[in-house]
């Protein structure tokens, strides 16, 4: 460490005396203690321990269950702030094992705001969502969610974070901090076609999807499920055994990758690269699946991700669910799902979409009845429904709402239900 000048010492002393934070530039002067080899520093960045401990969990209030869950798992559509909801999900034994400290979500995909400074609206001019948080505030906004998503992710699970050119480079560094640089699997480039009138730059026609795993080498990956199909099947024929082949010469036959499915050999195609140019954006291919929700993603895009990084029966989660593409595709592929959003239009769009599913990707084919799913409120509640809860459920709800420790006790002959905890050592009666 270089010797500090008198001016630097005086300035630091003044900051400490007045309780002001030191500028980031002083990180290069003072050997700050850090767990990371390197890290992104910015104003307002909190310690992970504080994020996990200080975030308030809000109870999930069931509003309505669609279909008969028979008391078992029902898929979850949650209306609320995803930061608080993710903390609440750590109390759900079907999603997080508290005793082992392990998550049970196999796959997470998020397509968060991109810091565009815009307000997005639906086709009928309904308010969809705001994307006006920028700068360091935006970085910390998303980082706090990523910390909880890491906790909820299973040991063999994967997370995909979908971003664009504005902030992707920052979040690569944050993802390295939170999940570990060694757990980066792929930087996927989604290249989509479209017209352009760009006169002073190259047309922006791609977005970035970072694919990280919880533990490299243990993660689920199904490459055969996401191969790129051959476009020209007319060049192929079947031999007597039913296998596809392409005849180069009379003496030589070429057999591409195949799989025996549903009683016949099926042509699978070539393995997929980390540049995806075979999935159009919704802007250039509305079709029957278009819902009018801004920045809606094609079902084909999520089909690739879900098939590659999960198996039937696994839980997939989207904390910025928007139009609900991940839930729609999860239904068609036999996965369980959790979707969270704080927008009324998003919740309405997803609910309607789930009740009008078609069995094939791209909203085609016969009608598909979804598995039972429950709509929850989180943070904004129907008071009448709360008041009408049975006594034990009401008590549980209120204790969770006010972050109280569930411990019955008596003071001066008055029975109380728990303690309101203000800190590690200070308990106040509730």
Per-residue HEC secondary structure of the chain comes to: CCCCCHHHHHHHHHHHHHCCCCCHHHHHCCCCCCCCCCCCCCCCCCCHHHHHHHCCCCCEEEEEEECCCCCCCCEEEEEECHHHHHHHHCCCCCCEECCCCEECEEEEEECCCCCCCEEEECCCCCEEEEECCCHHHHHHHHHHHHHHHHHHEEEEEEEEEEECCCCHHHHHHHHHHHHCHHHEEEEEEEECCCCCCCCCCCCCCEEEEEEEECCCCCCCCCHHHHCECCCCHHHCEECCCCCEEEECCCCCEECCCEEEECCEEEECCECCCCEECCCCCCCCCCHHHCCCCCCCCCHHHHHHHHHHHCCCCCEEEECCCCCCHHHHHHHHHCCEEEEEECCHHHHHHHHHHHCCEEEECCCEEEEECCCCEEEEEECCCCHHHHHCCCHHHHHHHHHHHCCEEEEEEEECCEEEEEEEECCCCCEEEC
Residues 311 and 368: their CA atoms lie apart, in Å, by 20
The most confident of 19-28, 78-87, 281-290, 379-388, by mean pLDDT = 78-87
pLDDT digits (tens, 9 = 90+) for 340-352: 998 888 898 899 9
Q: Residue 295: pLDDT above 90?
A: no
227 burial level (CB within 10 Å; 0-12, 13-18, 19+): middle
Q: Lowest mean pLDDT: which of 80-84, 130-134, 222-226, 231-235? A: 130-134
Among the residue ranges 14-18, 198-202, 265-269, the one predicted with the least confidence is 265-269
β-strand 237-238 against 153-163: which pairing, if any? unpaired
Judge whether residue 214 has pLDDT over 50: yes
Higher pLDDT, 304 or 8: 304
| pLDDT surpasses 50 at 367 | yes
Percent of the chain at pLDDT > 90 equals 39
Mean pLDDT, residues 153-160: 97
Most confident of 90-94, 202-206, 400-404: 90-94
pLDDT tens digits, one per residue of 139-149: 888 999 999 99
Q: Which two tokens stand for residue 239?
A: 């031999």
Partners of 8 in the beta sheet?
none
Mean pLDDT of 215-221: 94
Query: Does position 101 have pLDDT exceeding 90, yes or no?
Result: yes
Give yes or no for residue 129 having a pLDDT over 50: no
pLDDT at 280 over 50: yes
Which segment of 174-178, 308-312, 354-358, 426-430 scores lowest on mean pLDDT? 426-430
- Comparison of pLDDT for 242 and 345, the residue scoring more: 345
* Confidence label for 14 from pLDDT (cuts 50, 70 and 90): confident
- Alpha-carbon Rg for the chain, nearest whole angstrom, is 26
- Judged against a pLDDT cut of 60, whether residue 258 lies above it is answered with yes
Q: Fold for domain 51-226+271-378?
A: Rossmann fold (3.40.50)
Q: Would you state the pLDDT for residue 422?
A: 45
Q: Record the pTM.
A: 0.76
The b/e string for 305-330 (b: 16+ C-beta within 10 A; e otherwise) is bbbbbbeeebbbbbbbbbbbbbbbbb
Domain with CATH 3.40.50.150 in the chain: 51-226+271-378
Query: What was the pLDDT predicted at 85?
Result: 94
What is residue 406's predicted lDDT score, i.e. its pLDDT? 64
Cα-flanking dihedrals φ and ψ of residue 2, to 5°?
A: -70, 150
């Amino acid at each position: 460490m270089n010797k500090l000048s008198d001016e630097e010492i005086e300035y630091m002393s003044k900051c400490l005396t007045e309780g002001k934070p030191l500028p980031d530039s002083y990180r290069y002067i003072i050997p700050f203690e850090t767990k990371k080899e390197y890290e992104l520093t910015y104003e307002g960045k909190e310690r992970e321990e504080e994020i996990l401990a200080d975030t308030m969990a809000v109870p999930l209030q069931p509003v309505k269950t669609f279909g008969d869950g028979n008391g078992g798992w029902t898929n979850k559509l949650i209306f609320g702030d995803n930061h608080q909801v993710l903390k609440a999900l750590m109390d759900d034994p079907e999603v997080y094992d508290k005793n082992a400290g392990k998550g049970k979500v196999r796959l997470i995909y998020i397509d968060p705001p991109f810091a565009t400074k815009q307000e997005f609206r639906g086709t009928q001019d309904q308010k969809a969502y705001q994307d006006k948080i920028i700068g360091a505030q935006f970085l910390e906004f998303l980082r706090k969610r990523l910390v909880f998503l890491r906790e909820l992710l299973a040991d063999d699970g994967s997370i995909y974070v979908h971003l664009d050119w504005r902030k992707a480079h920052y979040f690569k560094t944050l993802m390295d901090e939170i999940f570990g640089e060694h757990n980066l699997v792929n930087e996927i480039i989604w290249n989509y076609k479209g017209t352009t009138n760009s006169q002073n730059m190259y047309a922006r026609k791609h977005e970035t999807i970072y694919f990280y795993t919880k533990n490299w080498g243990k993660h689920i990956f199904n490459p055969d499920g996401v191969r790129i199909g051959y476009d020209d099947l007319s060049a192929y024929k079947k031999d007597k055994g039913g296998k596809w082949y392409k005849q180069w010469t009379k003496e030589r036959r070429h057999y591409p990758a195949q799989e025996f499915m549903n009683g016949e050999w099926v042509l699978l195609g070539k393995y997929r690269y980390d540049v995806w140019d075979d999935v159009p954006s919704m802007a250039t291919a509305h079709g029957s699946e278009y819902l009018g929700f801004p920045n809606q993603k094609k079902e084909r895009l999520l089909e690739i991700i879900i098939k590659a990084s999960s198996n039937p029966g696994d839980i997939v989660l989207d904390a910025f669910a928007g139009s609900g593409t991940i839930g729609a595709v999860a239904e068609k592929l036999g996965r369980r799902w959790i979707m969270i959003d704080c927008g009324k239009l998003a919740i309405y769009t997803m609910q309607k979409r789930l009740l009008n599913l078609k069995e094939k990707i791209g909203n085609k084919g016969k009608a598909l009845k979804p598995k039972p799913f429950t709509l929850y409120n989180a943070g904004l509640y129907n008071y009448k429904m709360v008041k009408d809860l049975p006594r034990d459920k009401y008590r549980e709800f209120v204790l969770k709402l006010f972050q109280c420790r569930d411990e019955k006790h008596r003071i001066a002959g008055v029975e109380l239900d728990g303690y309101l905890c203000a800190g590690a050592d200070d308990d106040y009666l509730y």
